[in-house]
A and B are shown apart, each in its own frame.
Chain A
């Protein structure tokens, strides 16, 4: 059967198949273009809406370009929109998110690196079980820890504070950061650790002098992952924060759903873009390192 089809396709009129090929190619690009439009459309709508006046929004079409570009909505979103009774815009909450994300990412990445290093290269009895337990912990729905965590934060006196949120994000980020580093470090041959031990280096020295310098790709992966997770978090933010400490996602939701005054869609869209911008930038700038780092081995040669 299959033997016959080869000569058949070769004896086909050449021009006809060539035309078919070009048509198929065109169809392919048209399809890919349409899908690209589908993915870009919401971003486009957000952007154009944020630059329109309320009047134009009411009268114009969803996808039309703004007749008159105005940045008023952006200004309001940043520093004037109401998140409830307060009307300070997103700005304070944006900084809250920064204050939460930066330390939480740093701490969970560092701990993940150390944990991954232990699990991959300093195996002791029970290390495997510990790792499995941590791994399963990545997949729990956080709802199941919400209630006791709220009580614990209260007991520790950090309920509704930024340190409290940092703590929560570090704890529940550990599983993934450990997993990332562990998977990366197991590709480093154990002979390297052995050589360093014979050379006289200890646990921390080997980590510092040999593993860390090799870790840039996986640090990038982990930082991107953790930053995206923490910046985009809503559940912990809405559950464990109070009026002054909310992260930007919670504030955005409050602006959009605030019932005071006229519904300012342009402000909503500007606020949504502002809230999404940091992770979007990280993705566009460093996304390819993320993919590369996830798939890359560590040691060449």
Chain B
């Protein structure tokens, strides 16, 4: 099947500043693509380029197999939901939803039928005669979704649609959007700066930084095999531990030495046969460091560490220890007996370790 969206060598400049550089993305029908990255990295700009709201400086872009590089937004068969919802303030909810159809000359009966269908789906029937100013944040969000859904487009574009909601509502709507995606089998490009949103919603994630794509992959790939230090640090909460270390070949495996302020060097063995330079950054997620005895497996190695801090977080307890000059977080079970200032035997799952080059930050294994 042809990709629903195909972006090829896209560049975007504002005047002399390059905002987007050499973007290549392609998604299949039914994909839920999430563009994630820190604020100001060019996510909205990319989405606007896909929508045709911004002229692109270089490259090509096709939607549903048709070249859309210079086509105006109204002819791209897309619908878009905005961060501020962008509801037309002087129109009622119903008018907001049907405005697009009205502009396109859809007959009244179809408009009414579609409106009814969407209103039912989103449970906003009682709101249809209200104005946007009379709605709560969550209701506005739904109306904005309704305006997009009613169009039944090839591609949905969402620009941080949940970032103006409070935390609880955000989680609810997240679930709802996921459900909608599944029921409608829609193709979606979704922008967010929230990596949890990205992980929970996406079938495919694009990590963007400074207008450059850092990595494209499924949530699992991005999480488990981050392509570089930026992705490793950005995705996941609490963030991946990134520890300067020294690697030596040791028979078939690799010996990893980590300096410690508090005592002797920590030496761990990675059974994998890796070609690593001497100086590396070792990346290990907090959940891959456990209390000794609570983690089993081939790669697990235990070592005594000095506990600097204990942070109970309900379901888990986080323990912080200094390794290689970094505050390293381990995610322990809630009933742990760890105490600040005491030594604790920690289990490191070395089979999960990512290695990064110290200078370039690129992944090494």
Binding site for B on A (CB under 8 A): 189, 191-192, 194-202, 205, 209-210, 213-214, 299-301
Contacts of A198 in B (CB 8 A): 51, 53, 73-74, 78-80, 100
Contacts of B140 in A (CB 8 A): 301
A194 engages B103 (CB within 8 Å): no
Once A195-B82, A198-B80 are accepted as A-B contacts, the answer to whether A301 and B100 lie under 8 Å apart by CB is no
Contacts of A200 in B (CB 8 A): 74, 100, 103-104
- As a 0/1 sequence over residues 176 to 214 of chain B, the CB contacts with chain A under 8 angstroms (1 = contact) are 000000000000000000000000000000000000000
- Min distance, Cβ B93 to any Cβ of chain A, angstroms: 13
Contacts of B147 in A (CB 8 A): 195, 199
Once A299-B89, A300-B89, A301-B132 are accepted as A-B contacts, the answer to whether A194 and B80 lie under 8 Å apart by CB is yes
Q: At the interface, yes or no: B223 with Cβ under 8 Å from chain A?
A: no
- Min distance, Cβ B299 to any Cβ of chain A, angstroms: 49
Contacts of B72 in A (CB 8 A): 197
A199 engages B100 (CB within 8 Å): yes
- Min distance, Cβ A14 to any Cβ of chain B, angstroms: 48
- Min distance, Cβ A126 to any Cβ of chain B, angstroms: 12
Report which of A192, A194, A197 forms a contact with B88, defined as CB distance below 8 A. Answer: A192
B74 engages A197 (CB within 8 Å): yes
Contacts of B132 in A (CB 8 A): 301
A201 engages B103 (CB within 8 Å): yes
Contacts of A299 in B (CB 8 A): 89
Binding site for A on B (CB under 8 A): 48, 51, 53, 72-74, 78-80, 82-84, 86-91, 99-100, 103-104, 132-133, 135, 140, 147, 151
Report which of A189, A194, A205 forms a contact with B51, defined as CB distance below 8 A. Answer: A194
Instruction: Provide a sorted-by-A list of 18 A–B residue pairs whose CB atoms are within 8 angstroms.
Output: A189-B84, A191-B83, A191-B84, A192-B86, A194-B48, A194-B86, A196-B88, A197-B72, A198-B53, A198-B74, A198-B80, A199-B147, A200-B100, A200-B103, A200-B104, A201-B74, A201-B103, A209-B91
**Complex Cα–Cα for A108 and B73 (A):** 32
**Complex Cα–Cα for A197 and B72 (A):** 9
Contacts of A194 in B (CB 8 A): 48, 51, 53, 73, 80, 82, 86
Contacts of A202 in B (CB 8 A): 74
**Complex Cα–Cα for A242 and B239 (A):** 81
Contacts of B83 in A (CB 8 A): 191
Most buried by B among A194, A195, A196: A195
**Complex Cα–Cα for A213 and B96 (A):** 14
B90 engages A197 (CB within 8 Å): no
**Complex Cα–Cα for A210 and B48 (A):** 20
Question: A195 — nearest CB in chain B belongs to which residue?
Answer: B86
**Complex Cα–Cα for A205 and B53 (A):** 16
Given A194-B51, A301-B132, 9 more pairs with CB closer than 8 A: A191-B86, A196-B88, A197-B53, A198-B73, A200-B74, A200-B100, A200-B103, A205-B103, A301-B135
B80 engages A210 (CB within 8 Å): no
B90 engages A199 (CB within 8 Å): no
**Complex Cα–Cα for A301 and B104 (A):** 27
**Complex Cα–Cα for A299 and B88 (A):** 9
Once A198-B79, A199-B100, A205-B103 are accepted as A-B contacts, the answer to whether A210 and B88 lie under 8 Å apart by CB is yes
**Complex Cα–Cα for A215 and B185 (A):** 41
**Complex Cα–Cα for A195 and B135 (A):** 19
Question: B105 — nearest CB in chain A belongs to which residue?
Answer: A200
- Min distance, Cβ A287 to any Cβ of chain B, angstroms: 25
B133 engages A300 (CB within 8 Å): yes
A201 engages B99 (CB within 8 Å): yes
Question: A205 — nearest CB in chain B belongs to which residue?
Answer: B103
Once A192-B86, A299-B89, A300-B89 are accepted as A-B contacts, the answer to whether A199 and B99 lie under 8 Å apart by CB is yes
- Min distance, Cβ B135 to any Cβ of chain A, angstroms: 8
Report which of A197, A201, A205, A214 forms a contact with B89, defined as CB distance below 8 A. Answer: A214
Contacts of B151 in A (CB 8 A): 199
B73 engages A197 (CB within 8 Å): yes
- Min distance, Cβ B97 to any Cβ of chain A, angstroms: 10
Contacts of A189 in B (CB 8 A): 84, 86
Contacts of A209 in B (CB 8 A): 88, 91, 99
**Complex Cα–Cα for A301 and B88 (A):** 10
B90 engages A214 (CB within 8 Å): yes
- Min distance, Cβ A120 to any Cβ of chain B, angstroms: 16
A195 engages B103 (CB within 8 Å): no
- Min distance, Cβ A301 to any Cβ of chain B, angstroms: 4
Question: A299 — nearest CB in chain B belongs to which residue?
Answer: B89
**Complex Cα–Cα for A17 and B89 (A):** 52
Contacts of A196 in B (CB 8 A): 88, 99
Contacts of A192 in B (CB 8 A): 86, 88-89
